[in-house]
Structure 1
Amino acid sequence: MRKTLFILITILLSITMYGCSSSGDTDDTGDTGNEDKPTLTFGVTNWTSTVPPTKIAGKILEDMGYDIEETNADAGSVYTGMSNGDIDIFMDSWFPAQRQYIEEYSDSIESISVSYEDANSGMVVPKYMEDINDVEDLKGKEDIVNHEMFAIGEGDPAMQDMKKVIDFYDLDIEMTNSSEAAMLAAAEAEMEEENPVLFYGWRPHSMFDKYDLKILTNKEATAQEGLFDSSTINVIANKGLEEKAPEAYEFLSNWRISMEDMEQMIAEIDGGKDPDDVTQAWIDNNQDKIDEIKNAN
């Protein structure tokens, strides 16, 4: 009887030890289907249109298990960072204005989706300048804006195209380049006095929510040179992203957001709300859209 009991105890101990060993192996190696995911780095410019899609995509990818970092830089540095692998994703690439970067770094970066379409940009004036509706209307009247156009950083590719527009119409206008905030502050100071003013603008942007503005048409230069035609906003990625983070690549390949949602979020952020709160509210209110993007394939 004692011998039988000893055998039974030995068998039970062996089973218990095997179970502990198996459990320990799982703890050490983890679930092979849920291996640690890499850190993904987003490039972030100082444009207001970059913040909402970057925050939203970053939060969703964090929920999918990725660690997210942001690198703040001007557009040129963002593309350079993507080309050498320091930056994985840029959510705010304007086509055709920034097509030169895709062409320059075509071996290492690619456009993987269109975020939204029909985003216009160009010379902007307040609507009370009723006689100025096309860029050509400025010819011979440059003095009304003191021969000056307020603009964003000179290194932005859109500013290279803007110089071409000015040359195309042979306008006697000089660009004053600065940050987006400084440009808007200068333009707003003139509009507060209802003075004529010329500056660079784009949609989506809260400036169109705050002021009655119009983007000047650009018929001749658009038709002949393709300058400042309607833009699409693309998601750009380093070509190594698909192998590095296939789930993230698939999600971003299906990414879409409306320009109306963008402008509303930009206006809220510019109004003082925390970008994390604004973008989290969008996520909470648009889970159906997020699920649609995730399940697109």
Structure 2
Amino acid sequence: MIAPYRHLLGVAVLIATIFVFSIAANAGQKIKIASVGWTGVTIKTDLAVSVLESLGYDAENILVSVPIAYEAMSTGEADAFMGNWMPSMASIADKYFKKGTVDKFIPNMPGAKYTLAVPSYCAKAGLKDFKDIAKFGDKLDWKIYGIEAGNDGNDIILNMIDKNMFGLGKFTLVPSSEAGMLAQVKSFTNEKKWIVFLGWAPHSMNERIDMTYLTGSTNETFGGNDGTATVWTNIRKGFEQEQPNATKLLKQMTFPVSMMNQIMTALHENKSLTPLEAGLNWVKKHPETYRKWLTGVTTVNGKPGLPAFEKTLD
């Protein structure tokens, strides 16, 4: 009667060994992508997580502030970030690029915009350039409206105020969420009140608000090309070597401004949609986009990645 017990013991050891190795293998496929609470970054990140999950990865969107996103990548607590707006984020991101703990990696959206804006009726009345803001300080109640505290755009505005650039020393920054700031802008525009706010494209605000981006930005503020920006996908040091297949996918995931504007407009028009649903709806109608994303990409088991993702679109 000893042999059967030995056989059972051997089977149990084998099962336990397989289980342990399975856990280790799955742990190696965990991918964390940091994101911030901006609609565009959320859409891109959720789409990336969805594609990665279809390939068999355990992927997660981690919502943090911009500074924490870089610290998380630097310490290995996050693997990637798809919302690196340059040059405006240079003051936060460059030190990590220089240390080598974060790789700037690949541009995912050229031709973006990130700078100060006003309702177009303000521009028509003479507020067209950074140097014009202080001239209309009383009309603006000496306030500039930003988004969440700690983001790079707010930091640039605070630096302009602290250094009295363009005569802005008397102004106060009003931080808020993206949604809160835009609600304030809409409220002001309905009453034809004056306001200067942080604007960017792509975003549905460009369709919903008759707005004008100010000229006069410098390399010390939002960049020397009037706030024209490129958005990058950053990855942590070592990620490409550890996860070459997932890295290939992220490298190929690009998002034209026109694509993002359409997705954001759909979100605004249909409040029941989530960013992921709106993104996937657009992707279904444009299969040429996701086919490029998945060229040469496999599942975690080495099978073609395109059919695996397309199954999730049914």
Could you say whether these structures have the same fold, taking a TM-score greater than 0.5 normalized by the shorter chain as the test? yes
- Preserved contact between residue 106 and residue 232 of structure 2 (Cα < 8 Å): yes
Superposition pairs for residues 222-237 of structure 1, below 5 Å?
222=219, 226=223, 229-237=227-235
- Preserved contact between residue 89 and residue 235 of structure 1 (Cα < 8 Å): yes
Q: Does 2:109 align with 1:116? A: yes
Partner amino acid for 2:276?
Answer: D
* Deviations 1:119-150, CA, capped at 9 Å, x for gaps: 11211111111121111122322111111111
- In the other structure, the counterpart of 1:204 is 202
Partner amino acid for 2:29?
Answer: P
- Preserved contact between residue 113 and residue 255 of structure 1 (Cα < 8 Å): no
Superposition pairs for residues 150-161 of structure 1, below 5 Å?
150-161=145-156
Partner amino acid for 1:71?
Answer: I
* Deviations 1:14-72, CA, capped at 9 Å, x for gaps: xxxxxxxxxx99xx69xxxxx75611111121111211111111111222221111211
Partner amino acid for 1:152?
Answer: I
- In the other structure, the counterpart of 2:5 is none
- In the other structure, the counterpart of 1:183 is 181
- Preserved contact between residue 150 and residue 198 of structure 1 (Cα < 8 Å): yes
- Preserved contact between residue 44 and residue 71 of structure 1 (Cα < 8 Å): yes
Superposition pairs for residues 140-289 of structure 1, below 5 Å?
140-166=135-161, 167-171=164-168, 172-218=170-216, 221-222=218-219, 226=223, 229-271=227-269, 272=271, 273-289=273-289
Q: Secondary structure at the match of 1:50?
A: helix
- In the other structure, the counterpart of 1:74 is 65
> For structure 1, which segment, 237-246 or 159-168, has the greater mean C-alpha deviation from structure 2 after superposition?
159-168
Taking structure 1 as reference, are residues 122 and 134 closer, same or farther at Cα in structure 2, changes over 3 Å only? same
- Preserved contact between residue 89 and residue 236 of structure 1 (Cα < 8 Å): yes
> For structure 1, which segment, 232-241 or 60-69, has the greater mean C-alpha deviation from structure 2 after superposition?
60-69
- In the other structure, the counterpart of 1:14 is none
Distance 2:222 2:88 in 1: 12
Q: Does 2:47 align with 1:56? A: yes
* Deviations 1:128-184, CA, capped at 9 Å, x for gaps: 111211111223221111111111123112222223444220123211112222222
Question: Unaligned stretches of 5+ in structure 2?
Answer: 1-13, 20-24, 298-314
- Preserved contact between residue 114 and residue 255 of structure 1 (Cα < 8 Å): no
TM-score, normalised with respect to structure 2? 0.78
Q: Secondary structure at the match of 2:139?
A: helix
Partner amino acid for 1:123?
Answer: L
Taking structure 1 as reference, are residues 224 and 215 closer, same or farther at Cα in structure 2, changes over 3 Å only? closer
Taking structure 1 as reference, are residues 124 and 243 closer, same or farther at Cα in structure 2, changes over 3 Å only? same
- Preserved contact between residue 115 and residue 222 of structure 2 (Cα < 8 Å): no
- Preserved contact between residue 114 and residue 201 of structure 2 (Cα < 8 Å): yes
> Which structure is larger by alpha-carbon Rg, 1 or 2?
1
* Deviations 1:193-212, CA, capped at 9 Å, x for gaps: 11111111111111111111
- Preserved contact between residue 102 and residue 110 of structure 1 (Cα < 8 Å): no
Percent identity for Structure 1 against Structure 2: 23
Question: Unaligned stretches of 5+ in structure 1?
Answer: 1-23, 30-34
